[in-house]
Every structure is written in C-alpha cells, then in structure tokens.
Chains A and B, each alone.
Chain A
Amino acid sequence: MNQFIVQTLNGLTLAGIMFLVSSGFTLVFGVMRITNLAHGAIYLLGGYIAYSTIQLVGNFFVGVIVAGLAMALLGIVLERTLIKRMRGQVMAELLATLGLVYVMNDLALAVWGGDPLSLRLPGVLRESTTLPGGIIYPNGRMFILFLAVVIGLALYFLLRRTRVGAIVRAGVDNKAMVSAMGINVRLVFTMVFALGALLAGVGGALGGTVLSLAPNADAEILTFALIVVIVGGLGSFEGAVLGSLIVGLLSNYGQAYFPALAYFALFAPLVLVLLVRPQGLLGRTAA
C-alpha cells in the first residue's frame, strides 16, 4: 500500500512537470493555432541552461529563473523572426517548428554533449521527509509538485481574473473580435508565445531534477505533452490539467508495475479519447 502511495506521488510529480510543458503548448495552440513541435526542444534547452547557470552561480533558483527568462527571450525572437512569416498557415508553422527541432537539438549537442545530465537540488530539498503512515518521500519531488501547483494557480488567475487573460481567452474564442477591440494582437501573440516558451524552460529546469537531460529527452517530453493535449483537448487549459493528471499517473503506474509495456499505458487513454471524443475530454470543437 505504501508502495502504491509512493508511486502515486511520483505520478503526481510527473504530472506536474507534464502540466508545465503541456500548458505552454496548449496555450500557444489555443491562442495562435500554432503546433509548436520545438516545444520539447525548448524544454531541453531550458534544462541545459539551468544546469550551466547553476554550475556558474551555484544557486538552483537562479538557474530556474534564468532558464525561464532565456527561453522566453528565445520565444520572442522565434515569434518575431520566423512564426510571423507564416501567420495562419497552420501546416507550414508546424513543419517549420519541426525544422527548428533539428537546429536546436544539434546546437545543444554541440554545447552540452550527449551524456545525460541532471540537476542537483539545493540543501534541504535533497533530503527526505517521513510522511504520516511512515512513508519516506524526497522533499525535492514534493517541492516540484508544489511549484507546479503554484504555477498552475498563477496561470489560472492570469487567464481567468486579469484583463490580459480576458484578451487571451477572447483570442481563443474569436480572433477577429480581439482585433476589432483595438488590441494589439501581434503583441498578444508574441507574449503568449514567450509565455509558452517560459513555461517549457521552467519545466526543463524542474524536470531536470527528476528526469535526465539528454538528446531525445525533448522528444519524450513532447510526446507526453502531445498525448496530454489530445486527451485533455487541444487549446484547453483545464484540459492540460486533467490530461497531465491522467497521463502522469498512468504513465508512472505503468513504469512501476509493467515496465516493459509502460507505453501501452500512454496508448490506452489516447485510443479511448480518439474513439469516444476525438476533440479531447475538455476540447470544444468537434472533429
């Protein structure tokens, strides 16, 4: 039973990381209709930058923040130079971001090499706590879960309770209306893309403490994010939350109890959702 609770907590931690990555992905898709296949590469780059920053400064939190900001900056540059050239051509945007994956991964390989790296948590986060019931659980994982929840709540507040959020949500519902309101849609798009990249970068920094940073880690996290958004519903924030929980838990139980067939644990929700509700559990538009 304790083992099961530990696995559940592990699944929740994984879900937290998945949420950080997939919420950025789904936000960008929801507002801009862009399928950013480089999202995983941004995650990985964020993790690497956090690693180097921590090496340099010696502070984990500075590393996380630098990673997030650096990726947000990268997001702004990409949006302003590349994405805007293909505005509205959904398939071209998708394919262009696929090209970016190769560029970013190759450059990351040149700088950080191919060996797996992982981030070390500072001080007390490296220790473990005995939970009620005698379960010993690492503080670091609880911290990641806590951070994911905090960021999730902040995002929810941003989307539901602020003017910026209202604009973004209106953009999801009706782009023409947002333009008609005299809002600078270009700026909103750039900011949303930057926010998506920031979330991926932070996800990479946090994820790097639990999962290893190495070539192909980007594809793995991208797959998780994609399955999360298919299950939850493309473009839906709440869908990203729900999808992350489902996929994170199932994936972790799969890893723990049926390691050889863990990937079937991902396949099952994907198949079910596509058969029963192709638009995703909380997706709006019918397929």
Chain B
Amino acid sequence: MSTHTPGAGAGVAGWQGLLARQQRWLMLLIGLVFLLIVSSYLYRGGFYGQLVTQMLIFAIAAMGVGFLGGYGGMVSLGQASFLGLGAYGVAVPMSDGADPWTAIVISLVVTLAVALLTGLLAVRVRGISFVIMTLALGQILFGLASSWVDLSGGDNGLIIPVAPTLGPLDLNDPIVLSFTVLVVFVLAVLALRTFVASPFGLALRGIKSNEQRLKTLGYATRLHLYISWVISVMFAGVAGILFVFTNGLITPTALDFGHNGIVTLMAVIGGLGTLWGPTVGAIVIMLFQNYLSLYFERWATVMGIVFVAVVIFAPEGLWGLVTKFARRLTRQKAARGQLGINEVPVGDAGAETESELPDPTTEKVQQ
C-alpha cells in the first residue's frame, strides 16, 4: 500500500486515471439527469409530482442530519420536530392573519432563535447523550404542538389558506410551488457542498475524527459544533416552511418520534457524511411510505428491517456504498487529491467511527 515512488502522483495513466479526472464531470452529468427526471415529475404534478416534492423537502431536512452527523459526528434524532417548528412558525402567525411573507420571516427568526438556544445545550454533550438529548428536545416540541392548543390548534393542527406570490410567480399553483421547492433543494445542496469543502467543513471532519486533537490544534471545537448545529436546524426549518405550504396543513404528528426517526433513517440509509446520501435516503424511504404502502400494508415493518440490515451490513449507507465502489474502481491515491470533497465519503461510515477507533478518549467523549 505504501510503495509510492516519487512522481507517481504527477500523472496516473490509463482509463482509471481518466475516470478519476472526469469524476467531476460524471457527477455533474448525474446531477443533470437527476434534475431532468425530477423536473419531469414535478411538471406533470399529481400524485407523483407531490411525492417527489415531498421527497425533496425531506431530503433538505435529512441533509441537516447528514451534515451534523456525517461531518460533525453528532447524529440528531429531533430533526422532524425542527421541521415542524418551521412549519408552525408559518402556520401560527398566518392563522392570526399575517400575510405569507411575514409568516415566513417570523418562522425563520423563531427557528433561528430556537436553534441558537438549543445549541447551547447540544454542544455540551456528545455521542449517545447527544442523540438522547435531541430526541428529548424533539419530543418536547411535539408535546408543545399537541398540548398548547391555543397556539397550535392541538391535534387538529393548523391550516394554511394561501401561499405567497413572488412577482409573477403564484405559489398557490402547485406546479410553481413544486419547482420553488426544487430551487430551494438545489440551493441547499450547493450550500452543503460549499460548507463541506470550506476550512470550516474540514475542521468539522477533524472534530468527528478526534475532537481533542482539534483542540490542541487551536480550535474551539464547541464553536464549530454550535454553528453546525444551527445550520442543521435551519435546514429543517426551511424544509418545514416548504412542507407547510405544499401540504396546506401542519399537525403535531409531523413532529412525533416516528417522523424524527424517519428523517434520521433517511440520512443514515443514504449515508452519513455524503452529499447525496440524504437525498437517496429520502427517496428510498418515501417510496416505502407512499408507494410500497399501496400494495403492502406492513410497509413499516419492511422499512424497519431494511434499515436494520443497512446498519449491520452497509453502515456507510447506500450512497456510501456507491462512492466506495466508485473509489475502488478508480483505485489510486494520487487521484484523490483532485476529487471534490463530495465524491469522497468521509473515511469510515459515520455511524461506526466512534467505536472502531482504538482511541482511549472515545469512552470519555461519548459520555
């Protein structure tokens, strides 16, 4: 493995090298084909148009989980509740008569405020305790939504009568709204890609690898994790705003434990620490929920079993498997330096790293 001769890095010959150099273009091609397929569904609308729209929305939320969990090493189990927070952030002011744009601004501000506050707690715990804490936070938000009836409408939820208009674009037209979701999705992907490739993202991966080491390299690691937490929650909040306008309704169920788990499953099944994993996961799981369920009543059982199987047999996730396979195909280290960060899954799959590292601090950090 380590028999590298000087100069080997300069020019890797053969088709493998070519494939490696062209990987950027390959990814772009895949992205374009993806956009084309998605657009055709969205344009046709109807059941599948709605389904794809919801996939995109949940993909945005799952990206937040993937970012914090895959790059920062902190897997959140409260993301659907933050999605719900974003949705209620719109629905509550609108039911008090606010216009849609005001409601959107209020929602963003509220979600940001909650993210800033909960972040203070989130960065105090790691590993298992972090997961448990996010789950508890999520359940508390769920509890507020179902029991603070004056504000949230209780179990009946709140109905959104009207979507905003943006110049000539009327988002009350479901197809226009769907394409707006697509635009936001693309922006979210680009943002994530940018964050991950930045010095901040690099440090985040370092923190996941060994937080203590980053401290002795001059990093206030809690600050990085705090900012990542806020970003992750904001992804959920934005998804929530899209969710409430596309569904016209928000109920506490969307914030419950089952949904929290599902958003996390999306990120994990797709692959933590990969750019496209959460999207792949959202597509797979929503197909289970909305397509398999048409033919098979016990779809949730199947989904649970598939998920357990992924955790055991493919801990790097489905997209993680794809990239691993691609990397094996273009197997030479010299090419790695030229790849964008998104094509390289972050080392070991997110879920496993902590326990595999023979690092004496692991135990301490997890508590």
Contacts and interface: CB of A to CB of B under 8 A. Distances in A.
Direct contact of A and B (CB under 8 A): yes
Interface of A: 29, 33, 35, 37, 40, 82, 85-86, 88-92, 94-96, 98-107, 110, 216, 218-220, 222-223, 226-227, 229-230, 234, 259-264, 266-267, 270-271, 274-275, 278-279, 283, 285-287
B75 A91 contact: yes
A218 B257 CA distance: 9
A261 B52 CA distance: 36
B121 interface: yes
B127 A96 contact: no
Contacts of A271: 121
Contacts of B216: none
Contact of B132 (A86, A229, A279): A229
Contacts of B120: 275
A89 B356 contact: yes
A286 B258 CA distance: 31
A164 to B, nearest CB: 25
Contact of A267 (B140, B265, B315, B366): B140
29 contacts: A29-B128, A85-B312, A90-B354, A91-B354, A91-B355, A92-B311, A92-B351, A94-B128, A95-B75, A95-B307, A96-B311, A98-B264, A101-B258, A102-B301, A102-B307, A105-B300, A106-B304, A222-B135, A222-B257, A226-B132, A230-B129, A234-B128, A234-B129, A234-B367, A261-B147, A264-B144, A270-B133, A275-B120, A285-B363
Most chain B beta carbons < 10 A, residue from A82, A91, A279: A91
B256 A263 contact: no
B268 to A, nearest CB: 6
B161 interface: no
B215 to A, nearest CB: 14
B298 interface: yes
Contacts of B75: 91, 95
Please name the 9 residue pairs, one residue from A and one from B, whose CB atoms are nearest each other, closest first.
Answer: A219-B257, A102-B304, A263-B143, A103-B304, A99-B307, A106-B300, A223-B139, A99-B308, A285-B367
B312 A86 contact: yes
B261 interface: yes
Interface size class of B (residues with CB under 8 A): 35 or more
Contact of A266 (B131, B143, B265): B143
Contacts of A261: 144, 147-148
Contact of B308 (A33, A82, A110, A230): A82
A215 B127 CA distance: 28
B304 A101 contact: yes
Contacts of B149: 260
A91 B143 contact: no
B136 interface: yes
Contacts of A37: 135, 261
B352 A227 contact: no
Contacts of B363: 285
Contacts of A287: 124-126, 129, 367
A223 B307 contact: no
B299 to A, nearest CB: 8
Given A90-B366, A104-B304, A234-B132, 10 more contacts: A85-B312, A90-B127, A91-B351, A95-B75, A98-B77, A98-B307, A216-B258, A223-B139, A275-B124, A285-B364
Contact of B261 (A90, A102, A266): A102
